[in-house]
């Protein structure tokens, strides 16, 4: 069967035979204009859903960092003054930190079960169910009146949210070419920067409410965030398709063009059968563990601004409302670095690992400033804090590595993506522990740990680019230039001689 173009074109035509498991093979003829038109359609229908969903997730999981300024810590005894030095209160934030890292314990516990759910059941249904589940948890948070209750609440919040990031990382590979994936992954992952700019304004307004909760205005923040997420879950259920064959806004020809576009990836198609040999191969894959380290190590500085930024800024002498507003520029820095790095890796071939190295340098400098800078210069220390959000772009780059440098989709869903995001969770568990290893307001232990892991990230990025570049060169010498012969076959990156790693 051949599907001809809808209108006559003057430009060159491409003809691809599409092999889809369980369906009749078909040929589709398309032009370059069709190629880009379908890509724009995918961006229009899918990217807003991915971006808003992840933005809401980030808002909900980091809301505690804003609520702590509005009596959450006082109501639940999360921060304890353990002494004074020269009139400055020395605080223990261990309980508060525990409520931060227990979220990621729930995330780890649920990551693999969620991966199995998305492998066995329709992706959109699992994502929508996950959003609905965490909205319930968020709406229950104001009912927590003890430290223990909040710990349990945060654990289940992490479990409910564990579906989104790993699923979206794989989901991008269902629709976009490898050249397009870094930018798309940067967009949905980078929306955290937009959330960091918008949500403080929402909390600032809610913090001024004089109502039945009295000074505990943090409860309003959770009720609003939970309600928005619950409504959004129904939108996702209605709009988000599981795969190209179920996208109501694509006609038959455009569905085939989506698959033809994906042949460029040499990445196979969605295959729901379990293959233990592919999991074993993943265990031996350098990319499995390097990507887990990238995402995990860059997650440690994440604690500095996601959990402790408002406290660190308030301890510099600002009021709670001023400290909240001063977190907005942190989001702006993250926004600029994520977009610029995503654009650069889309524009220039072979620069992803270089971008990782460059993006890691500002957080390294910022950590040194916050560690060694004098407390008598709060503006200098705040400047150090503003350098650290570049780490979010480095973290997004690690996620992009995960989506573009693994071939088999089934293997990604069942093993490699869970491993990557378990690494992410471990980084975010270690981060709060490091920041509470020494008392506030200095948090020296946290900033020292950031310096160490940023240096390790730079060294691994240098080695990773050399290692994968050498492997690409070896394949070129052995197999010649890559073709599309096995583009839609269920092969791994080690099995497919046409696959080349993105550098």
The tally of domains found in the chain comes to 1
The angle at the Cα of 222, spanning 221 to 223, to the nearest 5 degrees, equals 95
pLDDT digits (tens, 9 = 90+) for 449-494: 999 999 999 999 999 889 888 888 888 888 877 766 655 555 566 6
pLDDT of residue 490: 55
pLDDT digits (tens, 9 = 90+) for 194-224: 999 999 999 999 999 998 898 899 999 999 9
The dihedrals phi and psi of 487, each to the nearest 5 degrees, come to: -60, -40
Which segments within 371-450 are labelled E, that is strand?
none
Cα 114 from Cα 414, distance rounded (Å): 9
- Report residue 147 as tokens: 């430290």
Is 432:100 a contact under the CB 8 Å cutoff?
yes
Residue 119 lies in a domain: yes
| Strand, helix or coil for residue 399 | helix
- Report residue 256 as tokens: 């085939």
pLDDT digits (tens, 9 = 90+) for 414-445: 566 677 778 888 888 888 888 888 777 788 88
- Report residue 178 as tokens: 């490898």
pLDDT of residue 303: 67
The dihedrals phi and psi of 256, each to the nearest 5 degrees, come to: -70, -35
pTM: 0.81
Is 230:28 a contact under the CB 8 Å cutoff?
no
User: Is the previous residue joined to 405 through a cis bond, with omega within 30 degrees of 0?
Assistant: no
User: Is the previous residue joined to 253 through a cis bond, with omega within 30 degrees of 0?
Assistant: no
Residue 245 lies in a domain: yes
- Res. 133: pLDDT tops 80: yes
pLDDT of residue 235: 95
Collect all residues with Cβ–Cβ distance below 8 Å to 459 and sequence separation of at least 6: none
Cα 280 from Cα 258, distance rounded (Å): 30
Residue 488 lies in a domain: no
CATH of the domain at 340: 1.20.1250.20
| Strand, helix or coil for residue 230 | helix
Residue 424 lies in a domain: yes
DSSP H or E segment with residue 422:
helix 417-435
Which segments within 153-211 are labelled E, that is strand?
none
Is 502:351 a contact under the CB 8 Å cutoff?
no
| Cα–Cα nearest to 465, from 284, 285, 287, 266 | 287
Report the chain's mean pLDDT, rounded to a whole number. Answer: 83
- Report residue 28 as tokens: 């589709």
Mean pLDDT of 305-332: 88
Which residue blocks in 276-351 are alpha helix, DSSP H?
Answer: 276-283, 286-297, 302-306, 309-314, 320-325, 328-347
Between the ranges 127-131, 257-261, 373-377, where is the mean pLDDT highest? 127-131
Residue 161 lies in a domain: yes
C-alpha dihedral sign at 375, 378, 379, 385 = positive
| Cα–Cα nearest to 294, from 453, 90, 83, 442 | 453
Range of the domain at 263: 2-477
The dihedrals phi and psi of 230, each to the nearest 5 degrees, come to: -65, -45
pLDDT digits (tens, 9 = 90+) for 15-29: 776 766 566 677 777
The dihedrals phi and psi of 469, each to the nearest 5 degrees, come to: -65, -40
pLDDT of residue 297: 87
Per-residue pLDDT band for 9 (boundaries 50, 70, 90) equals very low
Residue 492 lies in a domain: no
DSSP state of 438: S
Is 126:117 a contact under the CB 8 Å cutoff?
yes
Collect all residues with Cβ–Cβ distance below 8 Å to 163 and sequence separation of at least 6: 110, 114, 117, 118, 126, 127, 130
- Listed as own residue / partner, the contacts of 370-373 with beta carbons closer than 8 Å and 24 or more positions apart are 370/304, 370/312, 370/443, 370/447, 371/444, 371/447, 371/448, 371/451
| Cα–Cα nearest to 414, from 240, 288, 237, 268 | 288
Cα 370 from Cα 382, distance rounded (Å): 8
Cα 263 from Cα 227, distance rounded (Å): 41
How many CB atoms sit inside 10 A of residue 452's CB?
Answer: 14
pLDDT digits (tens, 9 = 90+) for 93-113: 889 989 999 999 999 899 888
Cα 155 from Cα 417, distance rounded (Å): 21
Residue 484 lies in a domain: no
85-94, 122-131, 148-157, 478-487: lowest mean pLDDT where? 478-487
* Beta strands 80-85; 26-31: pairing state: unpaired
DSSP state of 412: I
């Amino acid at each position: 069967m051949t599907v001809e173009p809808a209108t006559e074109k003057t430009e060159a035509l491409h003809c691809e035979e599409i092999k889809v498991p369980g369906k009749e093979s078909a040929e589709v003829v398309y032009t370059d204009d069709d190629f880009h038109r379908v890509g724009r359609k995918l961006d229009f229908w899918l990217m807003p859903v991915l971006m808003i969903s992840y933005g809401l997730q980030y808002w909900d999981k980091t809301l505690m960092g804003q609520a702590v300024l509005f009596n959450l810590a006082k109501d639940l005894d999360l921060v304890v003054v353990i002494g004074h030095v020269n009139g400055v209160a020395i605080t223990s934030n261990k309980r508060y930190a525990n409520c931060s890292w227990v979220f990621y314990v729930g995330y780890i516990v649920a990551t693999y079960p969620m991966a199995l759910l998305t492998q066995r059941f329709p992706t959109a249904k699992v994502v929508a169910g996950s959003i609905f589940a965490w909205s319930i948890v968020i709406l229950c948070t104001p009912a927590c009146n003890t430290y223990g209750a909040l710990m349990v609440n945060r654990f289940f919040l992490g479990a409910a949210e564990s579906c989104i990031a790993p699923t979206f990382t794989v989901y991008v590979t269902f629709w976009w070419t490898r050249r397009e994936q870094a930018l798309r992954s940067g967009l949905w992952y980078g929306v955290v920067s937009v959330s960091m700019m918008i949500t403080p304004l929402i909390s600032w307004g809610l913090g001024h409410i004089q109502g039945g909760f009295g000074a505990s205005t943090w409860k309003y923040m959770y009720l609003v965030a939970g309600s928005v997420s619950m409504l959004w879950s129904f939108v996702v259920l209605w709009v988000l398709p599981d795969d190209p064959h179920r996208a109501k806004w694509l006609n038959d020809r455009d569905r085939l063009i989506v698959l033809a576009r994906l042949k460029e990836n040499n990445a196979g198609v969605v295959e729901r059968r379990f293959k233990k040999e592919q999991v074993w191969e993943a265990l031996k894959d350098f990319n499995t563990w390097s990507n887990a380290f990238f995402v995990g190590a860059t997650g440690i500085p994440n604690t500095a601004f996601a959990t402790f930024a408002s406290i660190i800024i308030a301890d510099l002498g600002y009021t709670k409302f001023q400290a909240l507003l001063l977190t907005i520029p942190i989001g702006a820095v993250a926004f600029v670095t994520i977009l610029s790095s995503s654009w650069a890796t889309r524009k220039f071939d072979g620069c992803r690992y270089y971008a990782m190295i460059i993006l890691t340098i500002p957080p390294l400098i910022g950590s040194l400033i916050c560690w060694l800078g004098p407390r008598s210069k709060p503006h200098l220390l705040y400047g150090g804090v503003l350098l650290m959000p570049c780490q979010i772009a480095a973290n997004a780059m690690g996620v992009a590595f995960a989506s573009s440098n693994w071939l088999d989709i089934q293997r990604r869903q069942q093993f490699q993506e869970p491993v990557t995001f378990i690494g992410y969770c471990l980084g975010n568990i270690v981060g709060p522990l490091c920041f509470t290893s020494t008392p506030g307001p200095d948090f020296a232990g946290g900033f020292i740990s950031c310096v160490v892991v940023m240096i390790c990230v730079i060294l691994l990025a240098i080695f990773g680019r050399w290692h994968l570049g050498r492997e690409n060169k070896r394949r070129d010498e052995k197999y010649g230039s890559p073709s599309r012969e096995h583009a839609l076959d269920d092969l791994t990156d080690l099995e497919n001689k046409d696959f080349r790693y993105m550098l």
